[in-house]
Amino acid sequence: MLNLDGLEIIAVLVVMALFIKVLEQFGMFEPVGGEDSIEDDFELSTVCHRPESMDKLEELTKFTKKELQVLYRGFKNECPSGVVNEDNFKTIYSQFFPQGDSSMYAHFLFEAFDTNKNGSVSFEDFVFGLSIILRGTINDRLNWAFNLYDLNKDGCITKEEMLDIMKSIYDMMGKCTYPTMQEDAPLEHVESFFQKMDQNKDGVVTIEEFIESCKKDENIMQSMQLFDNVI
Amino acid sequence: MAAGVAAWLPFARAAAIGWMPVANLPMPVAPTEKNKKQDELIVLNVSGRRFQTWKNTLDRYPDTLLGSSEKEFFYNEETKEYFFDRDPDVFRSVLNFYRTGKLHYPRYECILSYDEELAFFGIVPEIIGDCCYEEYKDRKRENAERLMDDQEDNKDSKLPNMTFRETMWRAFENPQTSTMALVFYYVTGFFIAVSVMTNVVETVPCGSVPNQKEVPCGERYTVAFFCMDTACVMIFTVEYLMRLFAAPNRYRFMRSVMSIIDVVAILPYYIGLVMTDNEDVSGAFVTLRVFRVFRIFKFSRHSQGLRILGYTLKSCASELGFLLFSLTMAIIIFATVMFYAEKGSSSSKFTSIPASFWYTIVTMTTLGYGDMVPKTIAGKIFGSICSLSGVLVIALPVPVIVSNFSRIYHQNQRADKRRAQKVQKARLARIRLTKTESSSAFLHSKRNGLFNEALELTQLPYKMSLSEQSSTKEEQHLGKSSSLLESQHHHLLHCLEKTTNHEFVDEQYYQQSYLEGGLQNYPQRSPSLSSQDGVTGTCCSRRNKKHNTPLRNASGPAHMQPLTHTQTHNRGLQELSTIHIQPLSTSRSSLNMRIDEPASLNCQSSQITTAIISIPTPPVTTPEGDAHLPTGPSHQNVVKVSAL
């Protein structure tokens, strides 16, 4: 019998391993397992979505045909597949705010635009949202804003929800600001917001309180007029 | 802002509805579109081929020919189109740049014609996308080298007024220039060969003294060899001194490789002369003689190929380093394994791991001397694996070196990669610059826009004639510089500032204010001043560059004074705060003073008065701010520190 020392065993094992590899090369020895999963990824990205006809959209929104054309051209340019997913949305939005981090606010916007909650914003969702903001009445706009703030869509804004929104807005400013951004700036802002909006002081702001307080505030009313001329 | 997403700007502005109910401050006025035309198609006729695109597409890049008003020069009234007498094929790439935001370089296109077209249309080549950029740079480099080669061939014409020194240097560097240079070239070459041969023959045994052992020729014909050596060294020394004299930059010449080789070649002789025939130092003397072999490197002046080889090795330093590293790793691994494998066998030559190094190197380079051979089975197995892997490890980096050599040899170029690296750095710097321009553009136009806004808000009562001129000039100036898209984008960022009650500043200022906590007492002045300084450099350079700044400054505070008073009364939070040192009546005189005063005073006054930034301050601090103003020195000290 061969007197194999420790190292000799290792040597023999190495030789056997090399032998198996050579057999694999010749295709005589299929290794167990190892499915090919690379090809599966290709199928997901060819989803294509076509919007409704322009006539229908013109009925449903308050945009003219020409405005819809301009909007669709811009939309399709950035998203050739016809829908925007959340990452794409965040990328597009972040190009407008180079200094800060706009991903959180873009996430909230995405939630607000994606009305049927299917994880992607189609052209119809996009245009419906824009129609409310740019061509809606003051009540519509305030409703939409309330919907944006109400993260869990339960009809009232709590302090935590407002704090998240506020932080996301402040994040967009980034680091280099004057005066230097303090840690509690969002919290203070939330406090002052609640002081103004929460009339019955129950810790949440309902839709009626919100609309009422906004209508009383001249600044907010004036700023709502800004959206009339965007397109 | 990326022009590709310009179409989404309305969406971004609409999304700002989320900030409105939250904001405590009123929003700024939105920019109005003066002529609200619908988007129209533009026809671009390039040498007969008609391209059509939307006007908005071309407006995305306002600093190019097609995006600015420069294209009006090419407008053809009769056919209502823009006619360009240029290459339509290249124009395709140019127009696609506007459409997609990416510039591509077509491979079949000649690099020069492409560059010309880009220059004509005002597009910087650095924005070529990464997919095509390498190709573009390679072609450009090849073209530049070809130009340089052509230039070198034409350098033979003799320039008139060259000094003797310059003639000599040219003769040394380029032997083809004159007969004298050629003679010199061949003579030195001959003597190098003679010297090397002498060194070699010196050691050959030519013993023919019968009953003594064989002596090398050097010891037999000592005098002859010494004379030969002396003659060669004389020639080399004279040559070196002449080159040193003729060199245009002596210090650089002395540091160059060739001159170091020259020095090393002749030094042993002189050191040998100086040292006596002492027994102690003769050992060192023998070592010195080894350096005489470096004379052979002097041949590299005579051979282009040798120089290229040396350059290739230098430029492939990374591949050679990788080869060395991988070899070292493999040697250590296999030596260790062989040592432990052979430890068991008796009378094994593998006495230690370093002793096994020799075996590993000999095996991996497939030399196989046979002085050390494994005897155990494990040793033989690992030894065979060692030799197989040796072939692989050495064979892998070698083709890279070979291809490098062939490329350099064919192009006959020196210092190629070094130049490419500098340009790469410049390119990256420029790309970084355009990225940061978007954020600094907002800060710039924020100040400009605020001036404009302030001037718009202050109507007739307090307008002086001077300011009227300046305000209209302002509007014209601003109207030209920023497009509607830009102003809308800036308005959006402005709204965000108002919502959060903070301001965007640039990186430089933020670092300064972060380091100096003590700027809290003077919030109104220092940030505005140093933010301007930070963006533009120094206050004085700013003054020199934009001489209409003092005009604006003069008009600014003059108008702001009454306005701030009324505003503090009406609103809880102050929107515009200013620093006005001089009362209204003397503003004119101060204006004159500002222009005429020497540098330091001008800096100070322009610093102090350009503080028209909308900073929300509670009204209580305003009077304090005014009161603090006269305390000039300390305040200015603070400003100056931050301005640095």
Q: Which residues of A touch B19 (CB under 8 A)?
A: 169
For residue A81, pLDDT beyond 50: yes
Separation CA B415–CA B421 (nearest Å) = 10
B355 Cβ neighbours under 8 A, 6+ residues apart: B339, B349, B372
pLDDT in tens, B444-460: 776 665 555 555 555 44
Among candidates A78, A133, A223 on the partner chain, residue whose Cβ is nearest the Cβ of B8: A78
Phi, psi of B109 (to 5 degrees): -85, 145
Report residue B88 CA to chain centroid gap.
Answer: 34
What residue of B is the nearest CA neighbor of A136? B14
Contact check, Cβ <8 Å, A223/B502: no
DSSP state of B33: P
Contact check, Cβ <8 Å, B24/A169: no
First CA to last CA distance, chain B: 30
Separation CA B443–CA A98 (nearest Å) = 12
pLDDT in tens, B540-582: 444 444 444 444 444 434 344 444 444 444 443 343 433 444 4
Interface probe with A: pick from B8, B525, B570, most Cβ of A within 10 Å: B8
Contact B438, B5 (CB under 8 A): no
Q: Which residues of A touch B499 (CB under 8 A)?
A: 169
For residue A64, pLDDT beyond 80: yes
Q: What whole-number percentage of chain B has pLDDT above 90?
A: 15
What residue of B is the nearest CA neighbor of A90? B12
Q: What is the pLDDT of residue B282?
A: 65
Q: What is the pLDDT of residue B380?
A: 92
Q: Which residues of B touch A93 (CB under 8 A)?
A: 12, 15
For residue A70, give how far its alpha carbon lies from the nearest alpha carbon of chain B (Å).
8
Instruction: For residue B452, give both structure tokens.
Output: 């404009």
pLDDT in tens, B88-107: 999 999 999 998 888 999 88
Among candidates A14, A95, A149 on the partner chain, residue whose Cβ is nearest the Cβ of B5: A95
Nearest to A230 by CA among B13, B489, B37: B13
Phi, psi of B577 (to 5 degrees): -120, 145
Contact check, Cβ <8 Å, B9/A96: yes
Q: What is the pLDDT of residue B509?
A: 73
For residue B405, give how far its alpha carbon lies from the nearest alpha carbon of chain A (Å).
35
Instruction: For residue B203, give both structure tokens.
Output: 């050691």
What residue of A is the nearest CA neighbor of B509? A176
Contact check, Cβ <8 Å, B502/A105: no
Separation CA B281–CA B262 (nearest Å) = 24
Q: Band the pLDDT of B265: cuts 50, 70, 90.
A: confident
User: What value does the mean pLDDT take over residues B293-301?
Assistant: 84
Interface probe with A: pick from B59, B500, B503, most Cβ of A within 10 Å: B500
Q: Which residues of A touch B378 (CB under 8 A)?
A: 5, 7-8, 10-11
Q: Does domain B41-156 have CATH number 3.40.50.300?
A: no
Separation CA B339–CA B360 (nearest Å) = 10
For residue B26, pLDDT beyond 90: no
Contact check, Cβ <8 Å, A105/B18: yes
Q: Helix, strand, or coil here: B53? A: strand
Instruction: For residue A81, give both structure tokens.
Output: 């597949």
User: What value does the mean pLDDT take over residues B67-71?
Assistant: 87
For residue B562, give how far its alpha carbon lies from the nearest alpha carbon of chain A (Å).
23
CA atoms within 13 A on the CB side of B638: 23
For residue B363, pLDDT beyond 90: yes
Tokens 């290229």 belong to residue: B308
Contact B336, B361 (CB under 8 A): no
DSSP state of B517: G
Nearest to B561 by CA among B542, B585, B537: B585
This model of the complex carries an ipTM of: 0.77
User: What value does the mean pLDDT take over residues A70-80?
Assistant: 83
For residue B131, give how far its alpha carbon lies from the nearest alpha carbon of chain A (Å).
20
Q: Helix, strand, or coil here: B43? A: strand
Among candidates B8, B13, B531 on the partner chain, residue whose Cβ is nearest the Cβ of A74: B8
Domain edges within chain A: 65-135, 139-230
What residue of A is the nearest CA neighbor of B8? A74
Nearest to B496 by CA among A68, A19, A101, A107: A101
Interface probe with B: pick from A96, A171, A219, most Cβ of B within 10 Å: A96
Q: What would the 3-class secondary structure string for B554-566 be?
A: HHHHHHHHHHHHH
CATH class of A139-230: mainly alpha
* Fold held by A65-135: Recoverin; domain 1 (1.10.238)
Contact check, Cβ <8 Å, A148/B17: yes
Domain edges within chain B: 41-156, 164-302, 308-432
Helix pair angle (B587-596, B549-570), 10° resolution: 150
Q: Which residues of B touch A176 (CB under 8 A)?
A: 504-507, 509-510
pLDDT in tens, B376-429: 888 999 999 999 999 888 888 888 888 888 877 777 655 445 445 666 678 778
For residue B61, pLDDT beyond 60: yes
Instruction: For residue B45, give both structure tokens.
Output: 């006729």
Contact B24, A190 (CB under 8 A): no
Contact check, Cβ <8 Å, B14/A230: yes
Contact check, Cβ <8 Å, B376/A175: no
* CATH number listed for the domain at residues B164-302: 1.20.120.350
**Rounded to two decimals, what is the model's pTM?**
0.48
For residue B40, give how far its alpha carbon lies from the nearest alpha carbon of chain A (Å).
11
Q: What is the pLDDT of residue B358?
A: 94
What residue of A is the nearest CA neighbor of B522? A179
Which CATH number among 3.30.70.100, 3.40.50.1100, 1.10.287.130, 1.10.287.70 corresponds to the domain B308-432? 1.10.287.70
User: What value does the mean pLDDT take over residues A163-184?
Assistant: 85
Contact check, Cβ <8 Å, A15/B381: yes
Separation CA B322–CA B401 (nearest Å) = 12
